[in-house]
Amino acid sequence: MSTTTTTLEPFTLSAPPGTDIWRKPPSHNTFNAPTNPSPLPTFALETFQRAKLTFALPPADKLRQYDQAGLLLHLTKPLNQDKWIKTGIEFYAGNPYIATVGCDAWADWSLVPMPESTNNSNGSQPGATIEARREKDGLGRSLWIYWIVRDGSGKEVERRPLREVTWVFAEEEGWRVGVGGYVCRPTTEGGEDERLEVEFGEGVEIEILDKGNGDGEKK
């Protein structure tokens, strides 16, 4: 099996207040967050292998409740069908968390503490490296999301499993996936003009299965 890995250039992305990606019953459905690239590059879902990015938010004293950024996978199909996964850092109750939201029919939300960022008074920027990748076990296929922890030199020292999303590859035929970075500033409290600006210092790395090489599974 052969794959192609593409790395999109580093970038900075900003979002105004009132932007979000969130779907909650009975009727709330918002998808107006800035992304990079825009529009997102899309690939046949059956070829998707993994995506990874590294980013850093502003210091905590510049953040608002629910400020967030990270990796977006947007699944689409003709006749206006769409699903999505976003995973990154979200500022909640005065602290940054690694947050993951999966949206099939409706969205859910999970938070993982960032022990490395418990001291928010030193002006440091909460940052992370996040990877989403196709995996397979004895029960079937799924998307696994990891928080990649690095040392001071940038070397990977730990892969912390965050979430297994089982529905992503349940039906692949006809689906496409857009991949990129996103930034959201949902609240307008604190002013409607100040934008949230986030640095994606290593761009976005995307690995895709070359066409004609099987069903997309890594063996």
| Residue-wise pLDDT tens digits, 135-191 | 999 999 999 999 999 888 888 899 999 999 999 999 999 999 999 999 999 999 888
Confidence of residue 212 (pLDDT cuts 50, 70, 90): low
Pairing of strands 176-184, 68-77: antiparallel
pLDDT of residue 211: 77
Question: CA 156, CA 152: separation in Å to the nearest integer?
Answer: 10
Range of the domain at 174: 3-209
> For residue 132, is it within any domain?
yes
Q: What is the mean predicted confidence (pLDDT) over 86-110?
A: 96
Higher pLDDT, 24 or 119: 24
Mean pLDDT of 207-218: 65
State the pTM of this model: 0.92
- Higher-scoring residue by pLDDT: 199, 1: 199
The distance in angstroms from the start CA to the end CA of the chain is 9
Q: How many domains does the chain have?
A: 1
Within a domain: 47: yes
80 falls in which pLDDT band (50, 70, 90)? confident
Q: Does 214 reside within a domain?
A: no
On whether residue 192 sits in a domain, the answer given is yes
- Give the model's confidence band at 121: pLDDT under 50 very low, under 70 low, under 90 confident, else very high: low
Helix (H) / strand (E) containing 8: strand 3-8
The CATH number of the domain holding residue 168 is 2.60.120
**pLDDT at 123 > cutoff 80:** no
